[in-house]
Amino acid sequence: MSTSTAIRPTGTSPATAPARLDMYVGIHKALRHFMMDTLHRVGRMDPADATDLARTLGQFEDLMALCVNHIHHENDFVHAAIEARQPRGSSRTADDHVEHFEHIDALRAEARALARSEPAERPVQALRLYRHLALFVADNFQHMNVEETANNATLWAHYGDAELMDLHHRILASLPPAETLEVMRWMIPASSPAERAQILGGMKAGAPAAAFQAVLDAVRPHLDDSAWGQLARAIGVAQQPGLADFR
């Protein structure tokens, strides 16, 4: 299956340069989407509403857990590949990852203190969490751009696209099904129509039917009717449950 792979031209290459495989584009669109949505929800949360508080902090914890997993995947697969052919080539973003783990621990502590706090303290603690999460998101946006430019340039200098595709498939194969579903829930709505069709078309061809259907079910509530119709036509699935398949 192909979830986060896309062929992209480099930003600095001439228009005639061959496009290269970009492992970062899909997963980073997913993370940007998840981060922005969660930041927005923390900012608009009513700290006096226990249900809203629990739901919002639940999404916050899900985001932190995915960020931790993502850092491990990049360290274990992508940085390891860079280091194998260019020693110290991943040091800048590897150092960032150490800081991100520390930042995540601090944010989690703040969120748990908020959940345990007295009602009168919650507005101040919620605003503090919102601002510190915003700084984490800002830092990650800078970091992801370094990976998409400098790290991609290093990968492209030392690896062919077939090797990078193999590396990407090994990352995808290492993901538990629940993580794949969560990533797709954020990635597909954040992707362009062509990217959606490429990702889900690849998954339809390569994944078990039940796994593919589970991804469609996770994604469908987060696309409007126009986007869903365009995607359904592109990958040859029924536009709505219960309607006949058409191509």
Pick the closer one to Fe ion by CB: 96 or 195: 96
Complex with Fe ion: residue 22 or 74, whichever CB lies closer: 74
Nearest distance in Å: CB 209, Fe ion: 33
**Contact between 111 and 128 (Cβ < 8 Å):** no
Minimum CB separation of residue 70 from Fe ion in Å reads: 7
Q: Please give the residue whose beta carbon sits closest to Fe ion in the complex.
A: 74
| N-terminal to C-terminal alpha carbon distance within the chain | 21
DSSP-derived 3-state class of residue 19: coil
Nearest Cα neighbor of 163 from 77, 69, 48 is 77
**Closer of 75 and 230 to Fe ion (Cβ):** 75
DSSP class of residue 242? T
Question: What is the closest distance, in whole angstroms, from the C-beta atom of residue 142 to Fe ion in the complex?
Answer: 11
**Closer CB to Fe ion, 29 or 196, in the complex:** 29
- Interface residue list for Fe ion (CB under 5 A): 74
Helix/strand/coil percent split, the chain, to 5: 75, 0, 20
Q: How far is the CB of 41 from Fe ion (least distance, A)?
A: 23
